[in-house]
Structure 1
Amino acid sequence: MAEQLKADLFLDLKGLLCPLPIVKLSQAIKDLPVGAIIEGVATDPGVMADVPAWAKASGQELISIEQQGKEYRFLIKKVK
């Protein structure tokens, strides 16, 4: 993961199942300024498909997404 980037907000989405990780992400990004970075960690493997699809559909930038053991971590940058 891009360790040099500092997240403005950390979302702990562990234990949440689809669609809750995306719902929480959508709600959280509304309150952030353009350029802000959200780091999220989830345990639902569905986020590996859902987060990139949401980023594309919502016009946000997916910086990275990766699996680390049983967790899935992602970085999203708010661009609009």
Structure 2
Amino acid sequence: MQTEIEADFTLDLRGESCPYPVIYTLETLDGMNNGELLQVITDCPGSFRNVPEEAIAHGYKFAQDPVKNGQEYLFHIYA
């Protein structure tokens, strides 16, 4: 069961096609303070795999596993 997580920032990328969710997510994380939590919402199917792969490759950690909710994908990533 998923618990509600309170993020410091929300990045709503619904309507953005790949590769933009990955690009915008990494740019936003880069501008955040260490330890702050970013919530990313996207509806691009490729982002469910690409966002976690790239975020982890750049050294970021997830607060929980990515969530698929219908046509939307939700990520909680620590800067």
Residues 28-52 of structure 1: CA deviation (Å, up to 9, x unaligned): 1122110000001101011111011
Letter in 1 for 2:49: A
Aligned to 1:23: 23
Which sections of structure 2, spanning at least 5 residues, go unmatched? none
User: How has the CA–CA distance of structure 1 residues 19 and 60 changed in structure 2, closer, same or farther, with 3 Å as cutoff?
Assistant: same
Structure 1 residue runs of 4 or more that deviate by more than 6 Å after TM superposition:
none
Which sections of structure 1, spanning at least 5 residues, go unmatched? none
Structure (1/2) with the larger strand percentage: 1
Normalising by structure 1, we get a TM-score of 0.88
Residues 38-79 of structure 1: CA deviation (Å, up to 9, x unaligned): 00110101111101101221000022311101111110011x
Give RMSD over aligned pairs: 1.1
Identity of aligned residues (%): 30
Number of residue pairs aligned between Structure 1 and Structure 2: 77
Normalising by structure 2, we get a TM-score of 0.89
